[in-house]
Amino acid sequence: MVVSAAAGPVGMVVVQLAKADGLRVIGIASGWEKCAFVVDELGADACIDRNAEDVGAALDRLCPAGVDIYFDNVGGAVQRPIFDRLKPFGRLIVCGMAASYSGGDDTTLPTGIILGKRLRIEGFVVLDYDSEYPAFRTEVARLWREGGIRYRQLVYEGLDSTPQALADCLSGRSSGGKILVQVSEDDSVTADV
Ligand SMILES: NC(=O)c1ccc[n+]([C@@H]2O[C@H](COP(=O)([O-])OP(=O)(O)OC[C@H]3O[C@@H](n4cnc5c(N)ncnc54)[C@H](OP(=O)(O)O)[C@@H]3O)[C@@H](O)[C@H]2O)c1
């Protein structure tokens, strides 16, 4: 399974749950620091630094037989080399389109590849799984207690830091984890970016 934005809040959970389920997991993130986090702390088998490496060449090295599942948090140009390497009947889970949230870099799906490889594409929206949330909490709490799941957050101080926090979140300029803005001295009051 390949996971983009693997060091972000969604990606870090997906990587760890996939590993707990026994999958071989390759993350994609920007920068060595996030890639080290994805491998050393989240337990991915490898992480491709999308700023420093050619994603296609890295996948050829890491997954010579191809990719079964792509958990897509970003869309954009990163998608194409993964499409090219999905196996027949491979699956694409579309969770987000972070590459286009600041405009541009929209994705055109390669219909010829989808047809030829009989790919399965499904949008994932967490709200559809509300009824499974209690079971998810129980399972993640168990993994947390057993040390099987890790978490990182990056706190920006003060409401004035919100634009910077949002810009860093969307551009990927952070060390990974969930970005929060602390708007009060009271530790329990934060704004989720
Ligand atoms: N469907 C749902 O129910 C649901 C729920 C929550 C969130 N989401 C979506 O899931 C995705 C991940 O959410 P998150 O909160 O965990 O976000 P996030 O990882 O904190 O932020 C987005 C990340 O996308 C990567 N990125 C940005 N531009 C990119 C580009 N041009 N090419 C490749 N990668 C790029 C960056 O990571 P790197 O620089 O490290 O690559 C950036 O940090 C978002 O798209 C979000 O909207 C969906």
Average pLDDT over residues 116-144: 94
Distance between CA atoms of 70 and 82, rounded to whole angstroms? 7
Q: Which of 18-32, 77-91, 125-139, 168-182 is predicted least confidently? A: 168-182
Q: What mean pLDDT, rounded, does the chain reach?
A: 92
- Indicate if ligand 1 lies below 6 Å from the C-beta of 192: no
State phi, psi for 178 to the nearest 5 degrees: -90, 130
**Sorting pLDDT into bands at 50, 70 and 90, what band is 136?**
very high
131 CB-contact burial (10 Å; exposed 0-12 / middle 13-18 / buried 19+): exposed
Residues recorded for the chain: 193
Please give the model's pTM, rounded to 2 decimal places: 0.92
Please give the radius of gyration of the chain, using alpha carbons only, rounded to the nearest integer.
17
Atom of ligand 1 nearest to the CA of 34: 40
Distance between CA atoms of 138 and 11, rounded to whole angstroms? 19
What tokens appear for 154 in the block?
A: 């990056």
- Indicate if ligand 1 lies below 6 Å from the C-beta of 15: no
- Indicate if ligand 1 lies below 6 Å from the C-beta of 101: no
- Indicate if ligand 1 lies below 6 Å from the C-beta of 96: yes
Q: CB of 183 within 8 A of CB of 159? A: yes
